[in-house]
Structure 1
Amino acid sequence: MAMDTAPQERGIPVAPFVTDVAEFIGGADQDVMPTLQKFQEAISKYKFMEISTTQRRKGLEQKIPDIAKTLQMVEYLKSRKDAPDPTEVTFELNDTLFARATLDPIDKVHLWLGANVMLSYDMDEAIELLTDKLATARKNLELANADLGFLRDQITTMEVNTARVHNWDVKRRREQRDASARAA
C-alpha cells in the first residue's frame, strides 16, 4: 500500500548527511562545537518524535481490535434483525467482567464516541462509521510504522554526522599539534 504523504510532509525533517566536514562547518579553521550542539539538539528532537510516534502506534494497536470487534458485533446484530427469536449474547462490562443478555431484534445501536459521548445510529450508518474508523486507524498505524522507520534512519544519520565531525576535529587538532611540535 502506497503512502499518501512522505514523513517530511508530516513534519519530520530530513537529516542532512555530512560528506565534507570542513565545508559543512564553514572552513577548516572553524570551531566544531556549535555544529555538534546542533546535531545533539536534532537527535533529541528526533528521539522525542520517536517516543511520541511510538505512543501513537501503541494507542492505535489497542484501538483497532476494539473497533473491529464492535464492527463485527454490529454486523452480527444486523444479520439477526429479521430473526424470529431473541438473540443471546455475552458482552464485556470490564476487562474481566462479562454479562449475558437476551436481545430482541433491533434497528439501532448506540456507539461510544469518546469523552463520555454515546450516539444512536441506524445499523447501516453504524457499519459505515465503524468501517471508516477502522480503515482510518489502520492507515494511521501504517503511517506511524513508516514514520518510526524514517525517524530511526534520521537518528542514525545524525549520530553518524556527529561521529564524523568529532573524528574530523580530533584529526585536525592532532595534525595542528604535530605541526606545532615540528615547528618548535
Structure 2
Amino acid sequence: MSLENKINNASTSTTTETIESLPVEERMKRRNILKAQVLENVEHYLTEKKKILDDVQEEERDNFRRYKLLETSALQQKAKIDESILDYQKSIDSLKMLVEQKEKKSNSVLVTYKLDENLFSNAVIDEMDRVCIWLGANVMVEYKLEEAQSLLTKHLANIEQTNEETDEELDFLRDQITTTEVNLANLYNYGVLLRKKSDGKHLTQQNSTH
C-alpha cells in the first residue's frame, strides 16, 4: 500500500476498529522494499555469489538510486500528512469553539473563514447544532456537533498513526541508504586493492624479464 493510499484511507475511514501495525521491515517487505545486505567481506561475497566486481557495483548503485527515490517520495507524502494533521486540528478546534458557544447558549458567533490563499471572509453562525463535513470524493455529510467532533478525532488519530509509520519507514530507508553507501565504498576500495595487486604483479614480471 502506498503512503498516499494510507493517507486517504486514514482520513476517510469511519471504522472504529484499530488495525494493528506491522513492524516496519514487514511493511516494507510487503511492498518489495528489502533490507540492504551488508557487504563487509567483498572477496568472500563475490566468490560465494559467483559474481564479478563491476556487476555488483552496478547493482549497488541501482539499489542506492532506488532507496533515494523512495526516500524522496516518502518525504513528499510526509509533507501531505503533516498538512492533513494541521487541517484536522484546526477543524477540531473550530468544533470545540462551537460546542462551547452552544453550551453558553449563544445566539450567534462571528467567525473568519478562508476562501482562498490569502483571502478570508467573515460569517455569522446562528445555527450551532449541526455541521457539514467533507469526507472526500465530493461527499459532504451533515453531523451533530458531538458526532462530528468524535469522527474528526478518530480520523486524526488514524492519520497520526500513519505519520508515525511514515517516520519509521523514512528511518528504514535512510538506514538502507547508509548501508548501500558503505557497500559502494567497500567495493571501490576492493577494486583499488585488486588494481594494486595487478600492477604489482605486472611490475614484478617486467623486472624478472630484465
- Band of TM-score, shorter chain: 0.7 to 0.9
| Aligned equivalent of 2:99, options 78, 88, 98 | 78
SS in 1 for 2:133: strand
Q: Which shifted more, 34-43 or 172-181?
A: 172-181
The answer to whether structure 1 residue 169 and structure 2 residue 183 are counterparts is no
Question: Which residue does 1:115 correspond to in 2?
Answer: 137
1:143 deviates by 2.1
Query: What is the aligned-residue RMSD (CA, Å)?
Result: 2.2
Q: Which runs of 5+ in 1 are unaligned?
A: none
The answer to whether structure 1 residue 87 and structure 2 residue 109 are counterparts is yes
The answer to whether structure 1 residue 22 and structure 2 residue 39 are counterparts is no
The answer to whether structure 1 residue 54 and structure 2 residue 75 are counterparts is yes
SS in 1 for 2:116: coil
Identical residues among aligned pairs (%): 31
SS in 2 for 1:80: helix
Residue identity in the other structure for 1:109: V
| Aligned equivalent of 1:126, options 148, 158, 166 | 148
Q: Which runs of 5+ in 2 are unaligned?
A: 1-19
The answer to whether structure 1 residue 7 and structure 2 residue 28 are counterparts is no
1:84 deviates by 4.3
Question: Which residue does 1:152 correspond to in 2?
Answer: 174
Q: Does structure 2 conserve the Cα–Cα contact (< 8 Å) formed by 1:80 and 1:105?
A: no
Q: Which shifted more, 107-116 or 47-56?
A: 107-116
Q: What TM-score, normalized by structure 2, do the two folds share?
A: 0.78
Aligned length: 182
Aligned mates of 2:137, 2:21 — CA distance in 1: 30
| Aligned equivalent of 1:68, options 48, 65, 89 | 89
Q: What TM-score, normalized by structure 1, do the two folds share?
A: 0.88
SS in 1 for 2:40: coil
